[in-house]
Structure 1
Amino acid sequence: MQPKLPIQCPSCENALSVTQLSCENCATIVSGNYSLPLLLQISEEEQNFILQFFMTSGSLKEMASQMGNSYPTVRNKLDDIIQKISSLKQNQNR
């Protein structure tokens, strides 16, 4: 099992940023202070929901059937994720 990329500080729970990237082939190292991509800033559960949405071609009806939930429950979950991503995007642009 591959380790998961942490997105929050284990001490204060603030968002982590990427400060170093390296090439395994030539050992080049790039340093700086970069924010995580937007979709990595949401929970694994939210990422899985988006993946399932994609895999069902955006059919909330199909997702509701697969998840054993009602359409309004799935729609509300999608709306919550949209709101969270919009907020993160707004904060990134500041």
Structure 2
Amino acid sequence: MKLPIVCPSCENSLRVSQMKCEQCTTEVNGNYDLPLYLKLNREEQDFILEFFLSSGSIKEMAKQAGNSYPTMRNKMDDLIEKIKNLKF
């Protein structure tokens, strides 16, 4: 099951408020931000993972995906801009 990051009612961003240890049943309550990576959609997460697995080579990613280098570079630039906006 994928961790929900958007409210199903109003589509606002969700925050983490509770976590529980399966081993000892300790519960932690609060109001925490989701990690930046989890704020991205599945496609964006997969893109980052593929970039990592291709040793940071956009050229290799483009080859594996059957896309041109400029197409992959544009996707990377769009994702970088989105992350900058989420971070600040």
What is the correspondence of 1:26-45 to structure 2 with a 5 Å cutoff?
Answer: 26-45=24-43
Q: Match of 1:51?
A: 49
TM-score normalised per structure 2: 0.98
Q: Match of 1:89?
A: 87
Letter in 1 for 2:16: V
| Structure 1, unpaired ranges of 5+ | none
TM-score normalised per structure 1: 0.92
- In structure 1, how many angstroms separate the alpha carbons of the residues matched to 2:29 and 2:81? 32
- In structure 1, how many angstroms separate the alpha carbons of the residues matched to 2:5 and 2:41? 9
- In structure 1, how many angstroms separate the alpha carbons of the residues matched to 2:25 and 2:59? 48
- C-alpha RMSD over aligned residues: 0.5
Aligned length: 88
- In structure 2, how many angstroms separate the alpha carbons of the residues matched to 1:17 and 1:58? 30
- 1:74 CA drift (Å): 0.2
Identity %: 65
| Structure 2, unpaired ranges of 5+ | none
- In structure 2, how many angstroms separate the alpha carbons of the residues matched to 1:84 and 1:13? 18
What is the correspondence of 1:52-71 to structure 2 with a 5 Å cutoff?
Answer: 52-71=50-69
- In structure 2, how many angstroms separate the alpha carbons of the residues matched to 1:11 and 1:78? 31
